[in-house]
Structure 1
Amino acid sequence: MHESSLPGGFVNAVVRVGDTVRRPASTRTTFVGDLLRLLEASGWSGAPRYLGMDDEGREVLGHLDGHVAWEPQQPASVSSDESLVTVARLVREFHDLTAGSPLAGGREVVCHNDLSPKNTVYQLSGGELRPTAFIDWDLAAPGARVHDIAHVCWQYLGLGPSVTDVAEVARRMRLIVDSYELTDRQRLVSTILWWQDRCWRGIESQADAGDVAMARLRDAGVVRQVQTAYQWVLDRRGVLERSVQ
């Protein structure tokens, strides 16, 4: 069948074949397959179906129709308060489905670990785009609820120098944690900083080790961008922490 490249895949080559998506297998393939099967068996529609492996050794996933927000400029409805509320509630749903499961491995839940608009499928609802599903689960692993919510705050709010209204972004952080009903709020901002520090250091170390994809990210200036975002959050840590208490 005809293969067509899907946009937005900076690290992995992802293609569409009919109603399926094919992506390179990794050491996480078995875990991700088990996770997606668990979510499907629970009746949750917020993730693609796992359909096994193809003859080329690639993961085969069901294709999810909709708008994936991978480009820098997006319709206003993608970043609206209503969409943020829906994202937070979707995260709560799959966290609750994995809590106490063998896949959580004694941790609170299974985390996606890469939640962002670029990994979110949006569909029209009442004439506006709203989040309906998350894709790219290859970094999923046991973790704490606050890990994913911190990543949501960083990525969906674009925390960094591009923020012009700190009070507004603080309000929207509160909207996210309230919609999720997060109890572990005192660690939220420190976890955002942890993610940012971990991100740029991971890119650097993997690029130095010869990872071509990570080298491309570094060459594109991503390390500096994340470092700058880290400093922005650090400088406003007190304001952001008070906003979610």
Structure 2
Amino acid sequence: MLEVMIRQGGQMSESFLPGGFVNAVVRVGETVRRPASVRTKFVGDLLRLLEASGWSGAPRHLGVDDEGREVLSYLDGHVAWEPRQPAAVSSDESLVAVARLVREFHDLTAGTPLAGDQEVVCHNDLSPKNTVYRQSTGELRPAAFIDWDLAAPGARIHDIAHVCWQYLDLGPSVTDVEEAARRMRLIVDSYVLLDRQRLVPTILWWQDRCWRGIKTQADAGDFAMARLRDAGVVTQVQTAYQWVSDHRAALERSVR
């Protein structure tokens, strides 16, 4: 993984981790430090729950450092943050593994106080850029998820819809609609999602919520959201929303 040195003291002590467009995330030895937020306590409680359950698909929460930053364990592996990736990252086998990993942590949080009156705790930002891939039988396969700072109580379908959108890159870049539909079916079958009729509407909900949220917060003066808006993300998500709307019938047929 590419790292950029930001502090020296005989040897590199802190390094930026790539892909953090919103938060400045650094590695310090075998830990990751990121700015604390109002979500820090919830995320800490969630990661401790997953650790106590013996689940290895998330970093360990190690507390807060003397600069007030959240401290997490560093997960070694390949994070798919660059546009061009090895074929194994987007293979059918990797999609199956992603869906099963999501099912595992959903089941571990179902019925817990952290889920409250919702089905489970959702990650709410699942994508290849937030996935650690490791070698398994000679190929890269998903092993863990990072960036849990948006985690919150929610419905299982919320995370699965986000997975379909992000891991299949649903939008104008898709050249074969039927193939995308087949792979969407592979995800929901691997997760064993029961509530399928709302899947495509939930993908559209995510996309609409995403671009509106970025625009609203950017207009309100949020620097990070303004960077996303100025980088064209609002337009990109609006275009993806239109693509899913245009191909809604084919996508819905695939998961019936």
User: TM-score normalized by structure 1?
Assistant: 0.99
Partner of 2:46: 35
SS of residue matched to 1:186? coil
Partner of 1:47: 58
Equivalent residue in structure 2 for 1:175, among 186, 190, 196: 186
SS of residue matched to 2:114? helix
How far apart, CA to CA, are the structure 1 residues paired with 2:85 and 2:46? 30
Matched letter for residue 141 of structure 2: R
SS of residue matched to 1:59? strand
Partner of 2:227: 216
Matched letter for residue 29 of structure 1: T
Equivalent residue in structure 2 for 1:63, among 74, 80, 83: 74
Partner of 2:239: 228
Residues 46-101 of structure 1, C-alpha deviation per residue, up to 9 Å, x if partnerless? 00000000000000000000000000000000000000000000000000000000
Moved over 4 A (4+): none
Give unpaired runs (5+ residues) of structure 1: none
TM-superposed deviation, 1:38: 0.1
Residues 113-166 of structure 1, C-alpha deviation per residue, up to 9 Å, x if partnerless? 000000000001111100000000000000000000000000000000000000
SS of residue matched to 1:104? coil
How far apart, CA to CA, are the structure 1 residues paired with 2:101 and 2:175? 28
Residues 179-201 of structure 1, C-alpha deviation per residue, up to 9 Å, x if partnerless? 00000000000000000000000
Matched letter for residue 172 of structure 1: R
How far apart, CA to CA, are the structure 2 residues paired with 1:184 and 1:34? 28
What pairs with 1:103-182 in structure 2 (closer than 5 Å)?
A: 103-182=114-193
Partner of 1:77: 88
Q: Percent identity?
A: 86
Matched letter for residue 109 of structure 1: V
Partner of 1:242: 253
Matched letter for residue 205 of structure 1: T
What pairs with 1:88-103 in structure 2 (closer than 5 Å)?
A: 88-103=99-114
How far apart, CA to CA, are the structure 2 residues paired with 1:28 and 1:94? 18
How far apart, CA to CA, are the structure 2 residues paired with 1:188 and 1:104? 21
Partner of 1:22: 33
Partner of 2:21: 10
Partner of 2:198: 187
TM-superposed deviation, 1:28: 0.3
How far apart, CA to CA, are the structure 2 residues paired with 1:184 and 1:113? 18
User: TM-score normalized by structure 2?
Assistant: 0.95
Partner of 2:9: none
